[in-house]
Structure 1
């Protein structure tokens, strides 16, 4: 390897909500003709990595097929019901139960280890949920940057009592969906959330998994310091968070945290998508409904949303609904659909849709990317939170005046949805607040600021 080579290796799961921000960052570096860019992820994302290379090459390093425990889109319906139930703690517990599978990391860790041996990266950029990625970086002593698609407190707050945490005592626990200003009952609930999480790891069934985890860590040669509660923060060179401080409850920000705002590529992202863009331009007011890649709707919920669209027609609003093809079989016959409803199995660019001035409201599950993308374009939100971090973003959005959350998110009640959409459409304060945060997110610099920060790190310095 040449003395002046400084390879950068991106590492992520292949889930779009985790992968996409790093693709934007890799694309920005490619646009700047930065050499020796690599991206390690599952085989199914090979095409996405190829598309990120708009200047210098972004080489794909396959980590093999997707492992079910690491991919929520592959979970069966019973597991999906468990992880999306409305008891926030039970849903949190179910996510841990289904994703804490130490043996599933073995193949990924070893595959990444081979990639690292071949590439010898000067720097790794690792998505925050990719445990095997930052464990390997810490073990091998490779400088790394952590990428975070959630609000910053999500990775700085401990889930259990008595553990290291970089937010104040009493701060809302991630996945609890609790507000910053809590009632006495909510403060007790917040503490119980931590205690119950700790208690879960003391049960005999989970202790066996922990013992297996310890055995596998030893077998793989993972350094003990990689297991520390805040290892991914403490050992990172920097933590890139795709948010701004004002979209989280206030706390002293960690010195490594760099808040760069929403990661958005140059637009239009899909310049050839004339059909959808022309349709949007022909409307006056559009409600965009998009619930990510994990949400699974029932026939009754689909029927309720069709009725919502029908009743919005009377008020002069159009509805664009991104509904996966496999769920479109739940729709009523085409002749029974309202004329103001346009359904797409996939929009080439959700960002292009949200950027359109005729889109007035974003009805979303409030995942980390969707939440920040909607606000980046000044769109107020109506939220049906799906799981874990979605509840945290939903309560912050409501507290900051940019969104309303369904009263009954465990279902899709027509009156409930219609009430929230109508209020957000009719009350100017929601749009005004969303546009305020749009300015903050844009000023944070996004992909440009993130790329500048990476390229300024000592690990990439050349003689």
Structure 2
């Protein structure tokens, strides 16, 4: 059995495919995994392959097929600078900013030029001819893969790290997409407050209009049709707004951890898909020993979230407030009082990504060090630019009591399935919903709702205290542990693997 995984190389999309490859070989070691993507993900594919082979006796190493053409983010960065995509998706979600973002979204979801798109399609077609896969699992954002599979009538399905809400919004009864579910990038909570419904309706209508009328997308579609034998362009927005009747879409989400939605029949709710990774002890024994000292807050805002110094100072001040509150509470409750059931002094590890070319630091004499000098000097707080283990391994270390993350799908689900409450600081248009989910599900807080996409100590400090130490903290921990146990009963990666094999005719889900 040969399974081809066709996916963008950006980690947010590729991570669930790395987990899927492992789950397929765990289900059946005879499954051969072929991974078609771009150069940046090659190292991760190799590591995932090695881990899968070690974990599943008899499994063969995965075969990586590097595609021609630019990767998704590379293409997006090369789009005409007049469009300013990067600026649009990080602006505060005011009415006109959201309208600007919605106008640009179709181009962001299809960043390649016509010639680049064709080069990728031709490269993928060669891989298909070489591998002759029994089935192809295609990334929902990998439009060249969707287009090739549809045009050549290949046996395929779509796999996505996105949510049930994303794929089912337009199918909701009574037009729920307009008045109930927050439009992408709106920053509205769920359910949409009455006062926000008019704006939400406008956002949804604008999103639909621009998805149908974007000039750059239409130009790519015309070139693809002309030069690829009459092929119809298939995009992410197409499979959301007009899913083919025979297309099965696997979603790394489940109803219990999403907004309440009616799930269409073409969607398979797999549940959170978590990639198996080596433990912290195996990768970084020193960090493992440090984590074991006591309850830990893990701050990691993703690979692409760059924090300028003024915002880093706000974060540092929020951390200082939390540590002071923890010390005061420990003195009041007794020195041996545990935080989240974990004995020891509260500590923080903060993965801080600075903008390219930044000249400021966090060492002795810096402004950030000035805020947290005592905790940094005592090794109670660590500020690092990289963490060797995977974030999910840190969360599973057993002592993390709060995840502070950016609200990416992987980060949100990593914390949830680890049974850890979270504070979400969404910096981008597609992350706001996860902050709202944390509150709706009762497993965390939205940490920058007043100041998004940035954060301030005045808002964030009390929220960190609430989630880690406040009177609602035990209920949040109990609720997220309940959801984690539910997800563990039928792991999303195993459900997705069974669905892929069922679709290929090799097994039953």
TM-score, length of structure 1 as denominator length: 0.87
Deviates more, 1:426-435 or 1:65-74: 65-74
Q: How big is each residue's C-alpha offset from its partner over 1:77-96, in whole Å with a ceiling of 9 and x where there is no partner?
A: 96432211122443343443
Q: 1:436 aligns with which of 462, 482, 495?
A: 482
Deviates more, 1:83-92 or 1:20-29: 83-92
Q: Does the C-alpha gap of structure 1 residues 139 and 21 become closer, same or farther in structure 2, counting only changes over 3 Å?
A: same
Mind listing any 5+ residue stretches in structure 1 that lack a counterpart?
1-5, 159-164
After superposition, the CA RMSD in angstroms is: 2.9
Q: How big is each residue's C-alpha offset from its partner over 1:265-284, in whole Å with a ceiling of 9 and x where there is no partner?
A: 4454452321211111012x
Q: How big is each residue's C-alpha offset from its partner over 1:109-132, in whole Å with a ceiling of 9 and x where there is no partner?
A: 111111112112110011111111
Matched, 1:377 2:377: no
Q: 1:279 aligns with which of 285, 290, 304?
A: 290
Matched, 1:21 2:16: yes
Counterpart of 1:362 in structure 2 is 403
Deviates more, 1:73-82 or 1:443-452: 73-82
Give distance in 1, aligned partners of 2:247 and 2:205: 31
Counterpart of 1:322 in structure 2 is 351
Give distance in 2, aligned partners of 1:57 and 1:166: 43
Counterpart of 1:412 in structure 2 is 455
Q: How big is each residue's C-alpha offset from its partner over 1:184-210, in whole Å with a ceiling of 9 and x where there is no partner?
A: 33222221012222444687xx43552
Q: Secondary structure, in 3 states, of the residue corresponding to 2:175?
A: coil
Mind listing any 5+ residue stretches in structure 2 that lack a counterpart?
54-59, 328-345
Q: Does the C-alpha gap of structure 1 residues 67 and 456 become closer, same or farther in structure 2, counting only changes over 3 Å?
A: closer
8 Å contact kept, 1:288–1:359? yes
Q: Does the C-alpha gap of structure 1 residues 441 and 176 become closer, same or farther in structure 2, counting only changes over 3 Å?
A: farther
Q: 1:333 aligns with which of 363, 368, 373?
A: 363
Cα displacement (A) at 1:256: 2.9
Q: Does the C-alpha gap of structure 1 residues 292 and 331 become closer, same or farther in structure 2, counting only changes over 3 Å?
A: same
Q: Does the C-alpha gap of structure 1 residues 397 and 455 become closer, same or farther in structure 2, counting only changes over 3 Å?
A: same
Counterpart of 2:252 in structure 1 is 242
Q: Does the C-alpha gap of structure 1 residues 36 and 241 become closer, same or farther in structure 2, counting only changes over 3 Å?
A: same
Q: Secondary structure, in 3 states, of the residue corresponding to 2:272?
A: coil
Give distance in 1, aligned partners of 2:105 and 2:418: 31
8 Å contact kept, 2:419–2:477? yes
Q: 1:196 aligns with which of 178, 195, 206?
A: 206
Cα displacement (A) at 1:439: 2.0
Cα displacement (A) at 1:461: 6.7
Q: Secondary structure, in 3 states, of the residue corresponding to 2:288?
A: helix
Q: How big is each residue's C-alpha offset from its partner over 1:279-314, in whole Å with a ceiling of 9 and x where there is no partner?
A: 11012x211111112212111111222222233332
Q: Secondary structure, in 3 states, of the residue corresponding to 1:342?
A: strand
Give distance in 2, aligned partners of 1:320 and 1:193: 38
Task: Figure out how many residues of one structure are paired with residues of the other and give that number.
Answer: 448
Q: Secondary structure, in 3 states, of the residue corresponding to 1:234?
A: coil
Matched, 1:344 2:384: yes
Counterpart of 2:87 in structure 1 is 81
Deviates more, 1:221-230 or 1:246-255: 221-230
Counterpart of 2:65 in structure 1 is 61
Give distance in 1, aligned partners of 2:444 and 2:256: 15
Give distance in 2, aligned partners of 1:410 and 1:307: 18
